[in-house]
Structure 1
Amino acid sequence: MIGRKRLAAGELVESAALKRERASIEKLRSEIGERLEEVKRRETALESRLRALEESGAAPPDDDLRAGVEERSLELDRR
């Protein structure tokens, strides 16, 4: 009987540890998602500024820069 109680108590401790670990993982996923959204917003803003500068003639089109932005965007989408 005592052995069963200890086993049950051990399972409860393990179960609580797993719940804490899952909560920690979910929190990290949420933080990563928020950061990714912020990066995407910044990327969109930078692309808009670059496009506006190119269209106004204030900055010549920079194919290398645009290619770098597009490559980074694809990399983020893959993640």
Structure 2
Amino acid sequence: MAFVITSPCIDEKAAECVEVCPVDAIHEGEDQYYIDPDTCIDCGACEPVCPVSAIYQEDFVPDDQKEFIQKNRDFFKK
């Protein structure tokens, strides 16, 4: 998984990230967006356009947001 969307996205859903993703890797969930780890090409286009700074490269997800790595994986297991 290249990028992860974290808690600032919850109930925000501005969708700028969806619009710039060249491979349609970002999907809408019930309370936030998620990045499909199998589709993401690690281009980073989504990160700078996020109005709430919720997107991080997986290796740089803040410690207090690490649970969102698993939350993202679980979303795509459905």
Q: Whose RCO is larger (CA < 8 A, sep 6+)?
A: 2
TM-score normalised by the chain length of structure 1: 0.27
More helix by share: 1
TM-score normalised by the chain length of structure 2: 0.27
Larger Rg: 1
